[in-house]
């Protein structure tokens, strides 16, 4: 890897998001000088933006691909979806409202369109980050459909994606039947997930019985 790329990537993972701006400016300068930026380097910076849940910089970085005659790959799109999900999930003090959730879902739709345009097949990273985003945006029905359709199409679905969507059905909707359907989509049995579903269902049943007794 050329020294200038190594130097830029080195400070990307420090705490300050300003480093991403510096990297973008340096890469733009290199591009104006005629230097082509490899997809791998662009993905490294996308990864740094995704880790911070930085939507604006993620979109700016995706814009660098066509300017460098580079084509996004599955890793690029996985990081793009990750940035949206992390942006929503990290808003603990100021939870995301309907407008922000809607905006993130619109960005996600544009990423799906981009995947179609470039012929990018979903991999386990893309599917996981996409369904996590959907769950953070309270789109549990859609996340459940994505899992089931992915399995039907024989796309790779990791256990983490199965767990997230199944437990979202449990915690956000108390839909234990759907939670089990999602859990059964796993390539291998997930006994710990089934146990968690049963514990939550039993807890709710006991709470309802307690309320009936009180009344």
69: left (phi over 0), alpha (psi -120 to 50) or beta: left
Query: What does each C-alpha distance from 109 to 60, 76, 114, 133, 151 come to in angstroms?
Result: 17, 15, 9, 12, 20
| DSSP string of 186-198, one letter each residue | SSS--HHHHHHHH
Residue 203: the pLDDT is 93
Q: Which of 207, 124, 139, 213 is nearest to 169 (CA)?
A: 139
Residue 91: the pLDDT is 61
Report how far apart the first and last C-alpha atoms of the chain are (Å, whole number).
71
Residue 32: the pLDDT is 72
Residue 3: the pLDDT is 43
Q: What is the pLDDT along the chain (215 residues), one digit of tens a residue?
A: 444 454 455 444 444 455 666 766 776 676 677 676 778 878 888 888 888 888 988 898 898 888 878 899 999 999 999 999 999 987 645 666 889 999 999 999 999 999 999 999 999 999 999 999 999 999 999 999 999 999 999 999 999 999 999 999 999 999 999 999 999 999 999 999 999 999 999 999 888 877 766 65
State the residue for tokens 């880790």: 51
Query: What does each C-alpha distance from 101 to 85, 87, 97, 139 come to in angstroms?
Result: 10, 10, 6, 10
Three-state SS at 122: coil
Q: CB under 8 Å to 11, separation ≥6 — which residues?
A: 19, 22
The pTM score is: 0.85
């Amino acid at each position: 890897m050329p020294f200038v790329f190594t130097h830029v990537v080195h400070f990307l993972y420090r705490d300050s998001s300003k480093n991403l701006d510096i990297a973008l400016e340096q890469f733009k300068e290199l591009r104006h000088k005629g230097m082509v930026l490899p997809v791998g380097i662009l993905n490294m910076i996308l990864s740094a933006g995704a880790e911070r849940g930085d939507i604006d910089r993620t979109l700016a970085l995706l814009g660098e691909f066509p300017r460098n005659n580079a084509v996004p790959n599955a890793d690029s799109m996985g990081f793009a979806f990750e940035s949206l999900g992390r942006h929503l999930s990290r808003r603990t003090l100021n939870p995301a409202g309907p407008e922000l959730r809607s905006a993130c879902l619109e960005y996600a739709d544009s990423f799906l369109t981009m995947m179609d345009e470039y012929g990018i097949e979903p991999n386990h990273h893309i599917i996981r980050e996409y369904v996590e985003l959907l769950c953070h945006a309270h789109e549990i029905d859609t996340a459940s459909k994505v899992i089931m359709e992915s399995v039907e199409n024989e796309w790779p679905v990791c256990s983490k994606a199965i767990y997230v969507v199944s437990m979202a059905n449990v915690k956000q909707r108390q839909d234990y039947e759907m939670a089990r359907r999602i859990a059964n989509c796993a390539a291998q049995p997930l006994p710990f997930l089934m146990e968690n579903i049963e514990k939550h269902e039993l807890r709710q049943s006991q709470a309802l019985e307690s309320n009936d007794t009180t009344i």
